[in-house]
Amino acid sequence: MSSKPPMNKNTTPKLGDGGAKNTQKLSAGTAGIKGQLAKQGDRQMTKQKDKQLAKSGAKPEKESGQKSKTQANLQSKSKSRQRKSVPKRPVRKAGNTRLRVIPLGGLDGIGKNMTVFEYGDDMIVVDAGLMFPDDQQLGIDLILPDYSYIIENEHKLRGIVITHGHEDHTGALPWLLKDLSRRSVPIIASKLTCGMIKGKLDEHGIKNVKYTEVNGESTVQHGAFDLNFIHVNHSIPDALAVLIKTPVGSVLHTGDFKFDQTPIDGKVTDYSALARAGDAGVMLLLSDSTGAEVPGAVQSEAEVGRALQQIIRQAPRRVIIASFSSHIHRVQQICDAAVAAGRKIAVTGRSMLRNSQIARELGYLSIDENMLLDAYDLRDHDPEDIVVLCTGSQGEPLSALSRMAIGEHRSVRISSGDTVIFSATPVPGNEQAVNTVINQLVKCGATVYDKSNAMVHVSGHAASEDLKLLLNLIKPEYFLPVHGETRHLHAHKDLALQVGIPKEYIFVLENGDVLEFDAEGAYQKDPVHNGVIYVDGLNVGDFDSVVLRDRQHLSQDGIVTVVANISRRQKKVSGDVEIILRGVSVSDSEFFQSEIAERATKTLERNLRENATLHNARRSVRDAVSQLVWERTKTRPMIIPILMEI
Ligand SMILES: [Zn+2]
Ligand SMILES: [Zn+2]
């Protein structure tokens, strides 16, 4: 594929005077437009093409001196933006080196966030996250972004910035570090984030890692990049945005963030640092799109505390609360509410032990040791004196609750009069499972609260009004929505349009797409190698879709194994053909097995008489058995013929 024409060529203030110099202006990359892009050499577009591009919001190329209507529109739009206070242009050095921005993950769902910034011989990576599989990806434990581009350019790698301690930002680190040939690349993160990463890397046996601990006031330099960190609120303490100053201009990556005027630790998002960055001029903004479809502004974490206090105080019997262990502020609020109601706290869940220990050691969580109970000692206390906290990451709290509801949990069984609080939002794809558990709990006589009927959870991600506020504070020249599914990225694009960023300056990209910036403007280039890496138990690798399809196939239709001893010399099947059915539903399986054995024997003997190869004989058996099973069951299980020559 030849490289694409420069995109969004102009910088805002230049649109009037330098417009004629530009080779081509096209709107940022929606898939539809991408497909319509003419090749670089193909500068003579037909009228037809002009029409198509104009329709999709892109600008066809104009010859020198010519100004199109659309260009004039863009110009007037930019003027009106200028009136609204366009940022000062960042000082940019002339030169041939371009800044390359490459999101390797995070643009196709909430998870596996990873973005590469490259300038000349220097490269930094922001975040190295994983994604948990959905129920279509059977037997897959984790999904990582394909980071081969980083490995191929390892000699340039100056540092890995991790914005906060959530798995979708840290989870790929163990694998990435194992694949790098040197451990001297520093991990740059806040104190709590470093602590959580260290705990995770220890579990993987990865030692001698270099950490650069930063906070909301830090500035560190790595190669061509000056990294300035900015404190932001999120559903984990110590989250940071990073302002990356490069010779071409400044880039702000928000990480995950929300605005909270009354955060639990009293540390609000550093609005003045954001405003200062905006005033100095931000060339490119990458911003969290998770909440772009949520109307209004997101509520304060403190609201949850009030609701929890009220529910716990009024609860007639035991209270069981499910939450995520990394949400230290939530855990703190749950403990505070329990103590305020005179109840002790019993903690269940493996990851809670690790995370709470790190958080307590580092001073992010304060719980009076005397108020904590071992889950095994629950029998010694009256139900109305107890709050049980089940924590974990992802599905863990849910599965603990489910076991409690059906009486399989080793220390807690839900009974009539208990109160259960879901102080978390279901992981995407998990909503149905949560609903099933709620029904089980209600059947046991429990009163259940979740975010649908009480203020027991607020999001850690900025909602649409917050996102607009950020865009207005930063006033970026270019905007790249990140951290979301396609629908979130597009919703975020719409918000940017509403606050006056021209659409030609907004890029909705796909993982692996490359944006380049120089003193003149921005260009979209051919994507780099991209995709996903599946982690299946201990194996990491390129599971092709065939493996996943096989697993899906097995789970739906089951498996039929045909085991036969054959004698080529005698051209016959020796002994009985053994048939093993797994997951195949039939009314009379014994009769069915003998029927399959008979069909397989006939097929095999015909093949042997015809001197067929073993390979062909196997295929004939598979086809014949598959046909028979389809006739009887209308399913297509996987057929595995095992032929042994004697
Ligand atoms: Zn997060
Ligand atoms: Zn995230």
- Residues known to be catalytic: 288, 461
Q: State the ligand closest to the CA atom of 168.
A: 2
Cα of 49 from ligand 2 centre, angstroms: 39
Cα of 450 from ligand 2 centre, angstroms: 22
Cα of 14 from ligand 1 centre, angstroms: 37
Cα of 207 from ligand 2 centre, angstroms: 26
d(CA 278, CA 180): 36
Query: 12: closest CA among 83, 81, 63?
Result: 81
Q: Is the separation of the CB atoms in 210 and 186 below 8 Å?
A: yes
Query: 257: closest CA among 469, 432, 417?
Result: 469
Ligand 1 is an ion; residues with CB less than 5 A from it = 166, 256
Cα of 129 from ligand 2 centre, angstroms: 8
Cα of 488 from ligand 2 centre, angstroms: 13
Query: Which tens digit of pLDDT belongs to each residue from 473-495?
Result: 999 999 999 999 999 999 999 99
Q: State the ligand closest to the CA atom of 110.
A: 2
- The pLDDT value recorded for residue 552 is 65
- The pLDDT value recorded for residue 473 is 97
Q: Is the separation of the CB atoms in 259 and 221 below 8 Å?
A: no
- How far is the CA of 385 from the CAs of 339, 340, 346, 523, 571, in angstroms? 10, 11, 11, 63, 78
pTM, whole model, 2 decimals?
A: 0.72
Q: For the chain, which ranges sit under pLDDT 50?
A: 1-92, 94
Q: State the ligand closest to the CA atom of 127.
A: 2
Q: State the ligand closest to the CA atom of 257.
A: 1
- The pLDDT value recorded for residue 557 is 76
Is 430 exposed, middle or buried (CB count within 10 Å of its CB: 0-12, 13-18, 19+)?
A: middle
Cα of 287 from ligand 2 centre, angstroms: 11
- The pLDDT value recorded for residue 50 is 33
Cα of 561 from ligand 2 centre, angstroms: 44
- The pLDDT value recorded for residue 373 is 84
Q: What are phi and psi of 551, to 5 degrees?
A: -65, -40
Q: State the ligand closest to the CA atom of 129.
A: 2
Q: State the ligand closest to the CA atom of 234.
A: 1
Cα of 143 from ligand 2 centre, angstroms: 14
Cα of 451 from ligand 1 centre, angstroms: 19
Strands 514-517 and 522-525: antiparallel
